[in-house]
Structure formats: C-alpha cells, structure tokens
C-alpha cells in the first residue's frame, strides 16, 4: 500500500470492510477522513496507514428524521469517534439502543466495525467495546 | 482602524413564511422596492448589486440568478453578482458590498438576499440543505443538519451541563419576541412545556429546537458617508467586519462546544471596530437551532464558554435584558429563507439601531453585533454596526 491514496479508494475501502487512514509521509500524522494537505506540517505527500480500530466516543446524535434514502433506517446513531491514532471520524454507532441515548456515556471505548445499510451501502461504524 | 465610510441608509424585508404562488423574483423585487424607491433611494442611483442566495438550482431550478433578479426588479445593466456560502450567503454578500464602498469603487450599492424553499417537498428541501455539509464524508452516512447541531448539543451538555430545557428556552424567547413582529413566520407564543414536546428530529434536538423552512427576501442600500446625507439624517455605520472559515466536517474539529469560525470572525470584527463584546448593546445571532444561539452567545464573547445557558435562564438575553439577543425573534420564529437570512439580520440591526423597532425596540441601541454562519459552521461572518450619531 505505498501508492498515493485517493478519496475514491478511501470510500471503496469502507465498502470492502477494509478501512484505512491517510498517513503523512513527512511527519507521520494519521489523517481520516482524507485531506489533501497534512494538518500537522502542510505536506501533500500521503500514504495509506492501517489503524488499530480502537477509539473513544467524543459525541453523538440520534437521527429520527432523515432524507428519503435513509428514512427506513431511523432512528440511528451518528457519532464522532477519536481513533487511538489521534484522528477523528464520523461514523455510525452500534451496540446502543437508539431510543435510550441517555445511557450512552461520552468517552466510552469503541472499536471499528461496519454497518450494512438498507441503502445497499456499507457505512463506517464503531461498536461499544 | 474602524471602517468609516460604509453606511446603511435603508433596509427592508418581505414577510417570511410560506408564500404560495409567489416566485423567487417577485419576493426579491418586493424587498428591493421597499429598500429603494419606497425609502427614497432611486434605483438609477444604485451602481452595483451583491445578492445572497444559497441553492435556487435545487429549490426552483434556477441558476445565474443575480442578473435575472435584477432585471425583474427593474435594475438591469449594472454589475450584479450572487454570493453562495450556505446560510451565510446574505452576510458574505453584505461584506462584499462593504468592500465595494470602502474601496471607493462605488458610492451606492444594493445588498439583497432571497430564497424560495417551499415550492418543493420538505424532503427535497432537506436534501438541498444537506448540500451544505460534506457529501462524501458525512452526509453520505445519513448525518443531517439537525444531526450536526445535535452532536454539538450533546458535547455542550456534557461539558457544561446545558440541558434540553435550556435549549427550549431559546425557542420560547424567540416566539415571544416574534409575537409583535408582523414580518415573522410565527407570531404565537409557545409554552416551555410545548417547546419540550418530545418529537425528536435529531436527539437531543426536538421539533421546536429547529428553525422552519421559509420563503422570503431582504434588501438594503449601502452608501458612502458623503452620499448618505441625501437619503437620511440617521444612517447606520458598519464599523467592523470579520469572516472566517473552518472544516466542513465536524470530525475534523478539536472542540465541538464552540464554532471556531464564529470565534475567529468575531475577533476580527471587534478588532477592526476597535471595540469589545462589553461595548455591544445587543446582538442578532444565527439561531438555526436553539443550541446554536447558546453557543453563538459564547462565541461572540457576550458570555464565557459554558455560561450562555445561564444568561438565557436569568433573562439577560431577553428583549428587556442587559444583553438582548435576537430581539425580533431570530431564525427560529421569524423564519429562515437561507440566502435572505444574513441580510434580514442586518435589517434588524438597522431598525433597532435607529429606534424603529416598535414593540421590539431594545432600550440601549447605539452599537450592535450580528453573527451569521453557514452550514456546519464552516463559514462565519460577524458585522459590527453603530448608529451614525452615537
């Protein structure tokens, strides 16, 4: 995986259940979702990086009213997850009851997973660890 | 150095709401007529136009709107440009107008904003609005706009103890202020209990935490100080303007309890005006969702981070409070025709500053601040104004 990463491949990796992040070749910062330039040093040289899949829950919401494409899936969680590698991603959150959001604790440990949407797409997801 | 040459000499809006059978161009024309000929500013004196409109391509299937709108309003010929920065389109158009006057290129310009949102279904309008978020990395997994602000609300609740009831109080205040604003979409008080009705849109945000889908237009005329005298004895001066950007993605932000673009734009505007938050008599902020008003009241420096909800509970931001916020009803109750909102906010500042706000008049009205932001908060524009004789 040393070729220059692209956004299309990043999205396809999720569809294939093979999430990978970008890594700055210059300073080593892990970046996901993709950016054309490093948040740390500004370099535009990126490579692929595997991640441990470990993360912490930063914040979340439960979507009750959604656009047509997602309406059948409601209610569902969307969360902000901070990966052990330092970068943050938006993802579906699994393993919690969407009707009991009060019980979800920010800072909880979560691990990488995927959700097969009714839209036919696979979503990046994290599950209670 | 504070800006010293940009003056608002007239400002007006249409009623906001559901305007069945009234097209984009007709609403635009109505607002422009009110701000020009009806206010004693001949259209032939306008040298250029800056127009905010978010997404007429999807809402009314019309692009290249600036010349079309100006033609219908009887002003074809002059330079006319549309500005698109999601919900901040109106304020970025205003800022372009300010730069046009300050540069000396023009002495009289029109700034206007318009959106026609109710001619499509609510789902289609929601889809159009979602275009202001990152399609590939966030919207495509089902994150909605209420969801974006739901995530901010959860973070604010966790860090500062803000509650769902606090958010509901923003809606109650907005509706109360709008009861005496005949241009508002909703002119009806709501009880705290009603605002708390558990019809969740994106937990913890409920129906009454969300601004509505609306039609409407707003317009104002900016002139140089020399030209202002021929239209009014009481112009309002724009003394500071700041604009900033931030990541579209929420996940790329280190702090979800504040919007960095709002903080940065505020700092720039205060610095330009040579003033601080304590010098502001009142504020108009972008309350697309109730939590957004609480966060904005902190981001513009009215209150310390985490103290916005307490100020609201204590009545500090009420119409008769020490620091009124959204004295005419905000986006929540007046409506949010996206491209018109930033210009409408300037119309509110103008009317309050010159003492023309009727039952919604704030008691101290020399200097004020307006905060307009776009989409997920990726664009923020902050403008500081002062009545010319203050």
Domains in chain A, number = 2
Residue extents of the structural domains in chain B: 1-390
Annotated active-site residue B288? The verdict is: no
Domain co-membership, A59 together with A90: yes
Q: Does the beta carbon of B107 lie under 8 angstroms from any beta carbon of chain A?
A: no
**pLDDT confidence of residue B213:** 96
Q: How far apart are CA B106 and CA B99, in angstroms?
A: 10
CATH of the domain at A81: 2.40.50
Domain co-membership, A92 together with A108: yes
Domain co-membership, A107 together with A72: yes
Chain B nearest CA to A2, separation (Å): 23
Domain co-membership, A105 together with A80: yes
What's the Cα-to-Cα distance from A39 to each of A28, A87, B173, B210, rounded to whole Å?
11, 10, 40, 33
Domain co-membership, A94 together with A73: yes
Neighbouring residues of B22: CB distance < 8 A, sequence distance ≥ 6: B116, B215
In the predicted model, is pLDDT for residue A50 greater than 90? yes
Question: For residue B150, which residues of chain A lie inside 8 Å, CB to CB?
Answer: 61-63
Provide the angle, in degrees to the nearest 10, between the axes of the packed helices B24-35 and B65-72.
60
In the predicted model, is pLDDT for residue B264 greater than 80? yes
In the predicted model, is pLDDT for residue B327 greater than 80? yes
ipTM: 0.97
In the predicted model, is pLDDT for residue A78 greater than 80? yes
Q: Is B340 helix (H, G, I), strand (E, B) or coil?
A: helix
**pLDDT confidence of residue A68:** 86
Domain co-membership, A39 together with A68: no
Residue of A nearest to B158 (CA): A106
Which is the catalytic residue, given B19, B83, B175, B336? B336
- Phi/psi at A76 (5° precision): -140, 155
Name the pLDDT band for A82 (thresholds 50, 70, 90). Answer: very high
Residue A2 belongs to a domain? no
Query: Nearest Cα to B96, choosing from B273, B241, B248, B247?
Result: B241
**pLDDT confidence of residue A2:** 52
Q: What is the pLDDT of residues B108-155, one digit of tens each?
A: 999 999 999 999 998 789 889 989 999 999 999 999 999 999 999 999
Domain co-membership, A59 together with A114: yes
**pLDDT confidence of residue B226:** 97
What's the Cα-to-Cα distance from B22 to each of B18, B36, B351, B362, rounded to whole Å?
9, 20, 26, 33
Annotated active-site residue B87? The verdict is: yes
Q: What is the pLDDT of residues A17-39, one digit of tens each?
A: 999 999 999 999 999 999 999 99
* Strand residues in chain B grouped as ranges (E): 7-13, 48-52, 80-83, 108-116, 200-203, 205-206, 215-223, 236-245, 282-284, 367-374, 379-387
Question: Which residues span the domain enclosing A112?
Answer: 54-128
Residue A88 belongs to a domain? yes
Domain co-membership, A32 together with A58: no
Q: What share of chain B in percent tops pLDDT 90?
A: 96
Domain co-membership, A60 together with A99: yes
Query: Nearest Cα to B83, choosing from B121, B45, B102, B109?
Result: B109
Residues 122-151 of B with CB under 8 A from A: 123, 126-127, 130, 134, 136-138, 140-144, 146-148, 150-151
- The CATH topology of domain B1-390 is Peroxisomal Thiolase; Chain A, domain 1 (3.40.47)
Name the pLDDT band for B62 (thresholds 50, 70, 90). Answer: very high
In the predicted model, is pLDDT for residue B336 greater than 80? yes
Other beta carbons less than 10 A from residue B18's beta carbon: 15
Name the pLDDT band for A123 (thresholds 50, 70, 90). Answer: very high
Other beta carbons less than 10 A from residue B64's beta carbon: 10
Domain co-membership, A30 together with A81: no
**pLDDT confidence of residue B92:** 98
Q: Is B365 exposed, middle or buried (0-12, 13-18, 19+ CB in 10 A)?
A: buried
Domain co-membership, A91 together with A106: yes
Contact B110, B353 (CB under 8 A): no
Domain co-membership, A29 together with A90: no
The answer to which of A45-49, B2-6, B119-123, B258-262 has the lowest mean pLDDT is: B119-123
């Amino acid at each position: 995986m040393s070729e220059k990463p692209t956004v299309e491949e990043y999205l396809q990796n999720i569809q294939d259940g093979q999430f990978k992040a970008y890594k700055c070749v210059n300073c080593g910062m892990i970046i996901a979702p993709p950016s054309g330039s490093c948040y740390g040093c500004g370099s535009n040289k990126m490579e692929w990086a595997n991640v441990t899949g470990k993360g912490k829950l930063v914040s979340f919401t439960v979507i009750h009213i959604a656009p047509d494409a997602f309406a059948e899936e409601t209610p569902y969680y969307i969360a902000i997850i901070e990966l052990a590698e330092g970068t943050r991603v938006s993802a579906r959150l699994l393993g919690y009851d969407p009707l009991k959001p009060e019980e979800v604790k920010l800072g909880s440990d979560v691990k990488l997973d995927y959700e097969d949407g009714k839209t036919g797409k696979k979503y990046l997801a994290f599950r209670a660890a | 150095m504070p800006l010293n040459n940009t003056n608002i000499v007239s400002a007006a809006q249409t009623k906001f709401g559901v305007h069945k059978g009234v097209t984009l161009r007709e609403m635009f024309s109505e607002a422009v007529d009110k701000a020009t000929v009806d206010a004693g500013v001949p259209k032939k004196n306008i040298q250029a136009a800056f127009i905010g409109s978010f997404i007429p391509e999807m809402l009314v299937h019309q692009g290249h709107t600036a010349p079309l709108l100006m033609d219908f309003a009887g002003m074809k010929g002059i330079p006319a440009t549309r500005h698109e920065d999601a919900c901040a389109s109106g304020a970025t158009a205003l800022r372009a107008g300010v730069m046009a006057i300050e540069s000396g290129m023009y002495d009289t310009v029109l700034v206007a904003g318009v959106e026609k949102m109710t001619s499509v279904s609510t789902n289609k309008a929601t889809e159009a609005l979602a275009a202001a978020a990152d399609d590939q990395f966030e919207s495509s997994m089902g994150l909605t706009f209420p969801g974006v602000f739901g995530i901010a609300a959860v973070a604010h609740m966790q860090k500062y103890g803000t509650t769902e009831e606090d958010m509901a109080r923003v809606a109650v205040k907005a509706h109360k202020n709008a009861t005496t604003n005949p241009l508002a979409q909703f002119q009806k008080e709501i009880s705290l209990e009603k605002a708390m009705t558990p019809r969740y849109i994106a937990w913890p945000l409920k129906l009454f935490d969300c601004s509505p889908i609306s039609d409407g237009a707003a317009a104002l005329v900016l002139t140089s100080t020399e030209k202002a005298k021929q239209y009014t004895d009481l112009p309002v001066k724009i003394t500071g303007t700041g604009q900033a950007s931030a990541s579209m993605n929420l996940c790329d932000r280190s702090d979800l309890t504040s919007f960095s673009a709002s903080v940065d734009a505020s700092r720039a505007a205060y610095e330009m005006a040579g003033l601080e938050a304590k010098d502001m008599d009142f504020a108009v902020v972008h309350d697309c969702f109730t939590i957004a008003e609480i966060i904005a009241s902190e981001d513009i420096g009215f209150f310390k981070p985490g103290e916005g909800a307490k100020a609201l509970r204590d009545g500090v931001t009420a119409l008769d409070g020490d620091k009124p916020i959204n004295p005419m009803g905000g986006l929540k109750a007046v409506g949010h025709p996206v491209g018109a909102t930033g210009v409408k906010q300037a119309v509110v500042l103008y009317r309050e500053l010159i003492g023309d706000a009727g039952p919604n008049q704030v008691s101290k009205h020399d200097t004020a601040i307006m905060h307009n932001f776009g989409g997920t908060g990726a664009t923020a524009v902050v403008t500081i104004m002062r009545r010319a004789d203050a």
